[in-house]
Amino acid sequence: MSGTGARTGAAVWLAILCGGLGIVALAAAAPVLRLDHPRISALIYAVFAPLCHQAPERCFHLQGFPMAVCARCAGIYAGFAAGALLYPALRGFSRPRLPSLRAFLAVSAPIGLDVAGNILHLWHSPNGIRFLSGLIWGLILPFFVIPAVHDLILTRRERRRARIAVPPGNVESS
């Protein structure tokens, strides 16, 4: 891959890493801001509401108030940020490639079993287990998202160059 592709990969990684860290920070900021900045806190809770049930008994609490996401979602977001942080050391930017399906299924098993057990009322996982299963699953997600976004950008760039190289009306028919 060219230096431009590697630079694009690094830019994609940095944007996704910043986004992941920002999401974790926002989820934790909602309870911290609740007393001094209630409107900002309420807005943060509202942003996360469509993504998470926010049941207080399933959330970690900061300064006496629940985070804007449940323990499992907090784990997913923290895992995503950690996975994004690890991405360059484990994959680099020279060739975007996805993990194997086997790896995805292996890291999906803990969260899948935990969710299924809770839905079927076989057990009630404590927040620590919910967080850990989310963390494990979240760790692999950047290894799919970063190459996918990188590939999307490169593909769009190639299509744009192809359109510029062949001006309209100069297409030869077969």
Per-residue pLDDT of the chain (174 residues; tens, 9 = 90+): 457 788 999 999 999 999 999 999 999 999 999 999 999 999 999 999 999 999 999 999 999 999 999 999 999 999 999 999 999 999 988 777 889 999 999 999 999 999 999 999 999 999 999 999 999 999 999 999 999 999 899 888 888 888 776 666 665 554
The answer to whether residue 36 is domain-embedded is: yes
Is 167 within a domain?
no
Hey, what are 43's tokens? Answer: 């807005």
State which residues form the domain around 138: 3-154
Residue 27 placed within a domain: yes
Let me know if residue 90 belongs to a domain. Answer: yes
Specify if 168 maps to a domain: no
Residue 172 lies in a domain: no
Number of independent structural domains in the chain: 1
User: Looking at the chain, which runs of residues are DSSP E strands?
Assistant: 61-62, 65-66
- Stated pTM of the model: 0.87
In a domain, 130, yes or no: yes
